Structure formats: C-alpha cells, structure tokens
A and B are shown apart, each in its own frame.
Chain A
Amino acid sequence: MDTFNFSSSDFNAVLITLKLALTTCFFLALIGTPLAYFLAFKSIRAKPFLESIVTLPLVLPPTVIGFYLIVFFSPDTALGKFFIILTGEQLIFSFYGLVLASIIYSLPFWVQPLQSSLEKIGNDTLATSESLGASKFDTFINVIVPLSKKGFLTSFIISFAHTMGEFGIVLMVGGGIHGKTKVIAISIYDHVEQLSFGKAHFLAGGMLILSFIILLTLFYSNKRSTVRIK
C-alpha cells in the first residue's frame, strides 16, 4: 500500500500546471481580447467564419487537435524550424509547445464569455463615448473594461480551469516529460496506471476541490450579472 504523500515529482507537476495555466491566460488576454472585441463590435461578412474557427477546439476531439498540433510543431515545418533557430530547442515536447497548444484549445473559453459580455454593452455605448471626445482606446480602457469586468473574470477563470484540466492534447504535444511537460492531469494518469491510488487521490482530490472553488467563486460573483458561459 502506498501512502497519501506528495512527492517532489508531484510538486513539480503542480508548479508546471500553474505556470502553464497562468502563461496561457496571459497570452489569451493579449490575443483573445482583441478577437472578442472584434467579434462583438464589428460587423463583417467573415464573422461566422471567424467564429467557427475560434469555436472549433470546443467541438473537436482532443486527439484530433493534438494530432494536427504534432504535425505543425514538428521540426520539419516552418514553425518548428523557426522555433529551433530561436531557442535551439524543439517546439514539440517543450513547455512553450504546451503553451502554444493551450492557447489554441483554450481560445474559445476566453473569447466566448468575453464576447457575449461585450455584445451586451453594444455599439451605441461606444459611439456615445467617442462622440464625447474619447478615442477608441480611451473608450476601451475607461468604458468597456469596467463595464465588462465580469466578462473578463469569467473568461479568466474558465480559461484557467480548462487549461489546468486538459489531458489529451497536453499528453500528445508535451509527451508528459517529467519536470518539463508533465502536468497534474498526466501525473494522475501515471499514478493510476501504476496503481498508486493514494497519490492519485491526493492530486485528483486537490483538482476537484480547486475546480469546485473556482466555479463557486465564478457563479457567486455572477449571481446578479447577466454574463453566462455559453
């Protein structure tokens, strides 16, 4: 029987998972926010097309996304070669490969809640702000962000939780290399495979409680808000 203990390997996995989720959210804020803004306020013909692409990771089996990412991240592709020149390392099985993959599969989790929250603000509010002398950027910072605080919070929490919990893609793209790309989800899988249920309990229970607290915070703060996750 193994005991409920917390090895340094597990500790590493927790650190990597948190680092991955935070880094991913940071980049999602940079990429997903303008995308959500664009989808919410601009009326262009290509909008359904863009929306479909952004939502795709939501409906595809993780193995399909994982497979294509492996293909695109391989050292033979332009992206793979570029990354080797940049860092001397392969993109695949690296932490940055994991970040890139996470950004892609968590994109809809950032864009959708934010987009629906921005859509509720409406173009009229933007026009009002601009006609009162505020530039578009000024309007974004002083009107849009404060009015969609809950949208941003929802996007952050859902993207963070989802990145932390993804298994299939992370395994395929990262390979579960100890100390590098092995996240909590993979550790649990390994523990179960080795029948170390105690260790698995520890990590799984931690994830369960953490996820529950995250969702509870979210729904509690959204109680009176109209923002909902699609």
Chain B
Amino acid sequence: MTNLFVKITGYVGDFFLDFEHKFNTNGITVLYGSNGSGKSTIISVLSGFINHLETKIVLNDKSIENTKKFPPHKRPFGTMFQNPILFEHMSVSQNLDYPIKRNKFLDQTLLSKEELINYLELGSLLNRYPKNLSGGEKLRVALARTILRQSDYLLLDEPMSDLDIKTKAKLLNFLKMINKQFKIPILYVSHSIEEISQIADEIILMKNGKKIISGSVSKILNSSSFQRLIGKFELSSVLEGTLIKTDKLMNMTALDVNGQILIVPGTPGLMDKIVRVRIRSRDIIVSPVKINTHITENELEGIVTKIYTEKNTAFSELVIKLMKSKIKKTPQILRARITTYNLNKIKIAENKKVFIYISSVSIDRQAYQY
C-alpha cells in the first residue's frame, strides 16, 4: 500500500493555497475543482517545479524535501502535464526510450515498452515523428512515456480535456487497468464530471486553493458541496450497478442497482462489471403513485428523505433513497429536481414512498466507457 501525505501552504502570486491530504489508496484519486482552484499548482509542487511554498511531502514514510536540492528528475513522481509535449527531434520510439535510458534502477517486472506499445496501440507510430501525429496519438505516446519512467506515483494533469469520447473512454479504461493490475497509484486532475464518475476511487474537491471535502465517489458526487460547486443545471446523482444483461439487437444494457433494474443505452462492458451512470436531477420524473402505462424504460422505487424548496425560484429538490436493497449495501441516493408547483400538486412529502421514472435517453452516454 502506497501512502502519501501532502501539505502545502503559501502564496502563488496573489493566490493562497492551503492544502493538506493523506492519500491512503492504491487506486485513482481525482483532484476536482474549477480553473484556478489550485489543482495544477499541487501537481507542480509535487513534481518539483514550485519550491517556494511551505511544503511537507511524505511518500511511504520517506520525506521529500521541497527544495532545489530535490530536483524534478530525482523525485518519485511521474508527471504528465496539460497539453503533453513530445520531443520533436525524436521519433516516437526514441521518445519512449527517453525515460528508460535515464533510469538506473530499471525494474523488468513492471510494464515494459513492448507491453505499452501493445496496450496503447502505438506499433504503427514508432518510426513517426511528433509533428505527424494527431492530438490523441501524441497523448497516448506521452502517457506511455510517463509510465515508462517507472515512478512510484503517477500525476496526470487534465490529460484528456481535448479528446473525443471514444478515445477518452478507451484511455480511462487503460488507466484503470494499469492502476489495478500494476498497482501504480494515480493522482488525476480533472474538471470533467464524466471522467471522475468513471475512474475515481477517491475524490478531493478543491475550491479557491482549499480542500473542501474528500472521500469516495458516491459520497462526494452526492454531497451538497459538490452540487453547489457544479451549479444547479448540472445537478446530478451517480448510480452504481452490476451489468446483468445486454440486448445486442436493441443495443441496450440492464444494470442491477441494489436489486432494481436500470436500463441504459449502449453496451458499456461485460457481465458482472460495475458500471457507473450519471443522471441529471432535472431528467427525473417523480410520482407518488405507480403509473400503469409504460412511459419510460425505467421505473424505480424509493423513499423521499429530504425536500429542499429553494426560495425565490420555482424549484424544489428531492433527495430519494432507493429501495429494494436485497444485498447488504448502503442505499443509493438519487436527487430529483422538480417545480415546487408540481410538488404541491402531487403531494409528495418526506418519508413517503415514490416511483421514479427515468428515460434511458437521458442517461449520460459519456459517463461510461465502450
């Protein structure tokens, strides 16, 4: 188990950063926050490019002094910056060799160059030069190159902001795979909800240079701090389910969400795979009675645990606990946004049972990988 403690305090220009976190996971930790929340500064401090802040970094009980005496090339972090850069005067193959040549303690048991070429489909690119590569190709090469550094910890600063959905999903899958299989902990900076709901094991929420909250994906994505941060339009919940059936003909998939069935479009993976989907609060229809006509693919049952009525707006927010939890699992939470007018009309109250209708169309296709 890799453990990492980071504490950073101080001014970067007129921006004050005050961050402290104990990373206790071998998994993928996502640093989430809007632009200017201090995410990239943390990456720069860890990798050794900002030395003037008061810093304490302890990796696996070894302290890393954040001074120029501990320059980037001697640190145990492998960093990939935003808009990754390949060396233009070297071929793809030479770019990949760059960190290998500089590693005095090359570990043959870790991912090799050949394996990475295989996983990231770089075989046909090896003799080409960076100026002839597309953005996605460059990124794959840069990612492979960073992994070949064989660092103890990978730091990825918004690596996929410019990619199309398909490539992004593939790469996120790849990251999850190398993280699990090769036990490389990853700190992933992102401000894409789709990305984090897919790969995060732990989320750290940043705002104005401060950590607001941290914890598991469902805890954070359903927290009010997160909901406030992303704004009301994007309000959403994340449900986790086990893939139980795929209809190839219709291109639909059924997930088991704590004993209830959720039908989602596409084929997000194989049987028994855990799939996360994000549903926007405004896309949920709530009814106190069961509607006997088939109006949407999905009908779920739940109990309203809390109602928030917003002052001076037309809206109310319902927090619904999903029922029918046969398996011993914490109940999953769904947030629905309806007008206060409708709330009064259909007479929904706290602790009452409700039926939830969700059209599969509104389930975010970007939220899971293909």
Cβ of A126 to closest chain B Cβ, rounded Å: 9
* Cβ-based interface call for B79 (8 A): yes
Cβ contacts A91-132/B at 8 Å (1 or 0 each): 000000000000000000000000000000000110111111
Task: Select from chain A the residue with minimum beta-carbon distance to B79.
Answer: A131
Cβ of B13 to closest chain A Cβ, rounded Å: 12
Asked if B73 and A133 sit within 8 Å, CB to CB, the answer is yes
Which residues in chain B, 44-92, are within 8 Å of chain A measured between CB atoms? Answer: 47-49, 71-73, 75, 77-79, 81, 83-85, 87-89
* Cβ-based interface call for A143 (8 A): yes
Asked if B72 and A127 sit within 8 Å, CB to CB, the answer is yes
The 8 Å CB contact of B98, one of A124, A132, A146, A147, is A132
Task: Select from chain B the residue with minimum beta-carbon distance to A133.
Answer: B102
Asked if A135 and B87 sit within 8 Å, CB to CB, the answer is no
* Cβ-based interface call for A138 (8 A): yes
Most chain B CB within a 10 A radius of its CB, from A127, A136, A146? A127
Which residues in chain A, 128-182, are within 8 Å of chain B measured between CB atoms? Answer: 128-136, 138, 143, 146-147
Task: Select from chain B the residue with minimum beta-carbon distance to A122.
Answer: B85
Determine chain A's interface SS by DSSP, over half rule.
helix
Asked if B73 and A131 sit within 8 Å, CB to CB, the answer is yes
CA distance A138 to B47 in the complex (A): 18
Asked if B102 and A138 sit within 8 Å, CB to CB, the answer is yes
Cβ contacts B130-164/A at 8 Å (1 or 0 each): 00000000000000011001000000000000000
- Chain B residues contacting A128 (CB-CB under 8 Å) are 81, 84-85, 87
Asked if B81 and A124 sit within 8 Å, CB to CB, the answer is yes
A133 touching B99 in the complex, CB below 8 Å, given contacts A124-B81, A127-B81: yes
- Chain A residues contacting B98 (CB-CB under 8 Å) are 129, 132, 134
- Chain B residues contacting A124 (CB-CB under 8 Å) are 81, 83, 85
Asked if B87 and A125 sit within 8 Å, CB to CB, the answer is yes
- Chain B residues contacting A133 (CB-CB under 8 Å) are 73, 99, 102-103, 149
The 10 nearest A-B residue pairs measured at CB: A133-B102, A130-B72, A131-B79, A132-B99, A146-B89, A128-B85, A133-B73, A130-B73, A131-B72, A133-B99
| 4 more CB-based (< 8 A) A-B contacts, given A128-B85, A131-B75, A135-B71 | A132-B102, A138-B73, A146-B89, A147-B87
